[in-house]
Structure 1
Amino acid sequence: MVAGICAGAVVAALLAGGGTNTGTPDGYSMRTDARFAPVGALVPSAAVTYDTKLVPAAAWIEVGQRTTVGGATTVRLRVDGMVPGHAYAVHVHQKPCGADPAAAGGHFQHKPSTDPADVTADNEVWLDFTADEHGAGEASARHDWNFREGEASSVVIHEMPGSKVRAACFTVPFGWAP
């Protein structure tokens, strides 16, 4: 029975991803990480790869957020195990990841709009990076606004900058500060 409890705890930890989040009088802070797994993997993950050639199974992702009360939000991304030298586009999306890459919905926008002119790094959270020779990368974005409750739920890794093809998705517990 003890082995069953330990195995269950491990599976639960993998499903949720590792990490911490705190709401404080000063704002909201969060850090979470996971290993990518293909859709339908025996052990599911909060990080899903749709294209294992671009985002290999077991590649690692970490996302952090710091939001001050009534003010700025900084989102940080770190990855490892990616394709060395490849340029990836990464954006915060509205909904959690799913088996279908479209499940994550559209990009989170500070000022929601259907005008293509509003698809900018100032109105969205862009975390584009190029993996180094070891497959690692990182990026950060800072804005003078914060997320709206329930409207930012994942980070989607796109095939390349300018592409709409979704290579992977990571469900993230983004938060907000009053």
Structure 2
Amino acid sequence: MRLPAMLFALLVAAPAAAACASSVAVSPTPNGVRISGGGQFATTGAVIVYDRALAPDGAQASATVESVAGQTRSSLVAEGLLPNRTYGVHLHVNPCGAKPDDAGPHYQHAHSHADASNEVWLDLKTDTVGAGTSSARHGWTLNRDRLPRSLVIHAEPTAPDGTAGSRIACLTLQ
């Protein structure tokens, strides 16, 4: 399978990541933390699909969240999704599981409200072949004792209240 250069570079750079195979990594940085996960969506495991109509066979994604020096940077690269579509994407509190709701609610930095400044929203717009990238930056750091454990791809773009439709796929981050 031929990977776009950007997806290949991200997969090679992530610890223990490999195309078409699930991977999970948590690595300390000098003053922070880096969590990541990725691979091809399967029906079980750390990279799981719940809706093949919206995440077809062969779809894959890789995500990295790096938190250091008062900043948190999150990035997502995906391919094989439906073309010309916007998906809502958020960090969640629990690892992926057999059921979409197993990932729990959105990860919130301050436990107070649902918006893009308090949560990590990585809505993804795919191109004509179903590939896309997304990133977010926040002026706060993750708490090592309360890290997000997954990244969930939702069926719809994120609404102002933080809702984004059904959960179609999930990447476990820790």
TM category (shorter chain) comes to 0.7 to 0.9
Deviation at 1:17, TM superposition (A): 2.2
SS state at 1:103 partner: helix
SS state at 1:76 partner: strand
Superposition pairs of residues 78-117 of structure 1, within 5 angstroms: 78-113=77-112
Distance 1:27 1:151 in 2: 12
Which amino acid is the alignment partner of residue 123 of structure 1?
N
Deviation at 1:28, TM superposition (A): 2.3
Could you say which residue in structure 2 is the equivalent of 1:164?
Answer: 165
Specify every segment of 5 or more residues in structure 1 that has no aligned partner in the other structure, as ranges.
1-12, 39-43, 174-178
Deviation at 1:37, TM superposition (A): 0.9
1:87-137 residue CA offsets vs partner (Å, 9 max, x unmatched): 100000000111111111000111113xxxx21100100000111011101
SS state at 2:39 partner: strand
Which amino acid is the alignment partner of residue 74 of structure 1?
R
Distance 1:63 1:24 in 2: 17
1:128 and 2:123 equivalent? yes
Superposition pairs of residues 35-74 of structure 1, within 5 angstroms: 35-38=40-43, 44-69=44-69, 71-74=70-73
Which amino acid is the alignment partner of residue 168 of structure 2?
A
Deviation at 1:26, TM superposition (A): 3.5
Deviation at 1:49, TM superposition (A): 0.8
Could you say which residue in structure 1 is the equivalent of 2:15?
Answer: none
Distance 1:75 1:83 in 2: 22
Please identify the structure whose Cα radius of gyration is greater: 1
TM score, norm. by length of structure 2: 0.78
Distance 2:150 2:26 in 1: 15
Specify every segment of 5 or more residues in structure 2 that has no aligned partner in the other structure, as ranges.
1-17
Residues 153, 170 of structure 2: 8 Å contact kept: yes
Could you say which residue in structure 1 is the equivalent of 2:29?
Answer: 24
Superposition pairs of residues 5-16 of structure 1, within 5 angstroms: none
1:150 and 2:146 equivalent? yes
Distance 1:46 1:58 in 2: 15
Shift of the 100–18 alpha-carbon distance from structure 1 to 2, 3 Å rule, reads: closer
Shift of the 164–73 alpha-carbon distance from structure 1 to 2, 3 Å rule, reads: same
How many residue pairs end up in the alignment? Answer: 150
Among all aligned residue pairs of Structure 1 and Structure 2, give the percentage whose two residues are the same amino acid.
Answer: 39
Residues 34, 45 of structure 1: 8 Å contact kept: no
Which amino acid is the alignment partner of residue 23 of structure 2?
G
Distance 1:152 1:32 in 2: 12
Distance 2:55 2:32 in 1: 33
